[in-house]
């Protein structure tokens, strides 16, 4: 012990010579380190059994690891601050920071809970099934509402943090009291965000569109790939992406080919000569449609829909389980019928008719009368 007394005396002298803020700073650092260590021990030892299971509670615990670490640090800092004699300015700053941290952590908890619950619900509804109409309805509502909750929660959290500052509270009170040009400017600036947010809630409730719906927007044919909080991504047939505001689907007309069912009817047109045998062609068209794997067993018909001085306009109607399949069916029928006409009735292909007359024949009556 006698050997360590000089070392202890030197350490005490060194600490005595340090500035006054070093002691409290060391206490805070030690408290923060202990809080982080305790948090890690709790997650690696006590909660390992619960987290190892694939349950809703286990996924929530894994997602809130960081927010709980912040909570532990805030509690440790608060305990040290209450047990340490600090200047009033420092105490007020620590209390303010702790309040902000608590507000942020609460908002973080709500966002994580909404995300975990929605992800758990999505696992029960899959879009890769043949009859996925109910799944598309549910997932559309869930995703839009989840993103709406996230936006609202972020706005509320940011507002709660700003209110903790005295200057912001005074400015807000004066702004609401005046209700003048500043309020109108802020309202006008926030109008696009609020309009899309309200449109998203309307789409979630009324569902004019759903995920994987086939739509025609701005003359482009494609699928609803994703619905975000303020816009919709349409996957066009040639792999391009069309980004459309949510409010568009509330305010503008568009085509939805899968509103109630994915089944659809398509048409193919031919322009043929009057000499084509309609009975044979009708039988051939119905045979081709019936033998195609793209036909759903519904509609198959050939009709003369119009005529002009040169050709007849024929239209075949055929149905399929969805629009991509119907497109393939229409192309198949169009090609095979053209091949049949070329092989069996080439005279029925469109042609121009002209009547040739010898000019001398036209002069004959005059010569005879003379």
Write out the two tokens for 43: 């997650």
**Is the same domain home to 119 and 67?**
yes
**Is the same domain home to 244 and 271?**
no
Number of independent structural domains in the chain: 3
Per the domain annotation, does 343 fall within a domain?
Answer: yes
Per the domain annotation, does 3 fall within a domain?
Answer: no
**Is the same domain home to 242 and 329?**
no
**Average pLDDT, integer, range 90-116:** 82
pLDDT tens column, 276-314:
999 999 999 999 999 999 999 899 999 999 998 888 999
CA-CA-CA-CA dihedral for 219, 266, 331, 273, to nearest 10: -110
Q: Where are the alpha helices (DSSP H) in the chain?
A: 5-17, 22-41, 48-51, 56-63, 65-83, 88-122, 133-163, 166-178, 181-206, 248-251, 278-291, 323-344, 359-369
Strand 214-217's sheet: what is its strand order?
241-245, 231-236, 220-227, 214-217, 255-256
**Is the same domain home to 200 and 215?**
yes
Residue, of 276 and 77, whose pLDDT is higher: 276
**Is the same domain home to 257 and 280?**
no
Per the domain annotation, does 199 fall within a domain?
Answer: yes
Per the domain annotation, does 230 fall within a domain?
Answer: yes
* pLDDT above 50 for 267: yes
**Is the same domain home to 297 and 235?**
no
| pTM to 2 decimal places | 0.60
Residue count (the chain): 370
pLDDT value at residue 98: 80
Domain boundary among 246, 261, 276: 261
Per the domain annotation, does 44 fall within a domain?
Answer: yes
Q: Which CATH number fits the domain that encloses residue 212?
A: 2.30.30.60
**Average pLDDT, integer, range 28-49:** 72
- Give the C-alpha separation, 231 to 150, whole Å: 15
**Is the same domain home to 72 and 28?**
yes
Per the domain annotation, does 6 fall within a domain?
Answer: no
**Is the same domain home to 175 and 229?**
yes
Residue, of 25 and 232, whose pLDDT is higher: 232
Query: Which residues lie across from 303 on neighbouring strands?
Result: 315
pLDDT value at residue 122: 76
Which residue range(s) make up the domain with 167?
138-261
**Is the same domain home to 207 and 173?**
yes
**Is the same domain home to 43 and 108?**
yes
pLDDT value at residue 290: 93
pLDDT value at residue 349: 84
**Average pLDDT, integer, range 333-357:** 85
**Is the same domain home to 158 and 175?**
yes
CA-CA-CA-CA dihedral for 345, 346, 351, 355, to nearest 10: -80
Write out the two tokens for 166: 């005295």
**Is the same domain home to 253 and 305?**
no
Domain boundary among 239, 261, 283: 261
Q: Where is mean pLDDT largest: 30-34, 84-88, 211-215?
A: 211-215
**Average pLDDT, integer, range 94-110:** 83
* pLDDT above 70 for 351: yes
Q: Is 285 exposed, middle or buried (0-12, 13-18, 19+ CB in 10 A)?
A: buried
Domain boundary among 124, 149, 178: 124
Per the domain annotation, does 93 fall within a domain?
Answer: yes
Per the domain annotation, does 154 fall within a domain?
Answer: yes
Q: Which CATH number fits the domain that encloses residue 278?
A: 3.30.70.100
Among 64-78, 178-192, 228-242, 306-320, which stretch is predicted with the lowest mean pLDDT?
178-192
């Amino acid at each position: 012990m006698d050997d360590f007394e000089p070392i202890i005396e030197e350490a005490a002298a060194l600490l005595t010579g340090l500035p006054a803020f070093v002691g409290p700073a060391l206490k805070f650092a030690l408290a923060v380190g202990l809080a982080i260590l305790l948090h890690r021990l709790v997650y690696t030892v006590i909660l390992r059994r619960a987290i190892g299971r694939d349950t809703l509670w286990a996924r929530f615990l894994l997602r809130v690891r960081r927010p709980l670490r912040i909570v532990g640090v805030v509690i440790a800092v608060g305990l040290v601050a209450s047990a340490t004699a600090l200047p009033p300015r420092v105490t007020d700053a620590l209390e303010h920071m702790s309040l902000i941290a608590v507000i942020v952590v609460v908002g973080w908890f709500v966002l994580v809970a909404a995300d975990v619950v929605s992800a758990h619900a999505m696992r029960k509804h899959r879009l890769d099934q043949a009859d996925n109409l109910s799944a598309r309805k549910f997932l559309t509502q869930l995703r839009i509402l989840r993103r709406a909750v996230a936006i609202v929660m972020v706005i509320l959290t940011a507002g709660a943090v700003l209110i903790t500052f005295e200057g912001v509270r005074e400015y807000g009170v004066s702004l609401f009291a005046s209700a003048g040009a500043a309020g109108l400017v802020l309202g006008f600036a926030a109008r696009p965000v609020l309009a899309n947010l309200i449109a998203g809630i309307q789409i979630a409730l009324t569902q004019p569109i759903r995920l994987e719906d086939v739509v025609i927007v701005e003359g482009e044919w494609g699928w609803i790939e994703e619905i975000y909080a303020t816009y919709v991504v349409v996957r066009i047939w040639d792999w391009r992406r069309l980004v459309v505001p949510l409010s568009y689907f509330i305010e503008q007309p568009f085509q939805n080919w899968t509103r109630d069912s994915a089944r659809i009817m398509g048409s193919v047109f031919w322009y043929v000569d009057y000499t084509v045998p309609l009975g044979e062609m009708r039988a051939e068209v119905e045979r081709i449609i019936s033998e195609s794997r793209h036909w759903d067993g519904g509609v198959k018909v050939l009709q003369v829909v119009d005529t002009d001085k040169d050709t007849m306009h024929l239209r075949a109607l055929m149905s399929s389980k969805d629009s991509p399949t119907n497109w393939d069916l229409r192309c198949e029928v169009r090609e095979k019928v053209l091949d049949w006409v070329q092989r069996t009735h080439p005279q029925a292909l469109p042609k121009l008719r002209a009547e040739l007359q010898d000019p001398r024949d036209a002069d004959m009556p005059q010569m005879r009368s003379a």
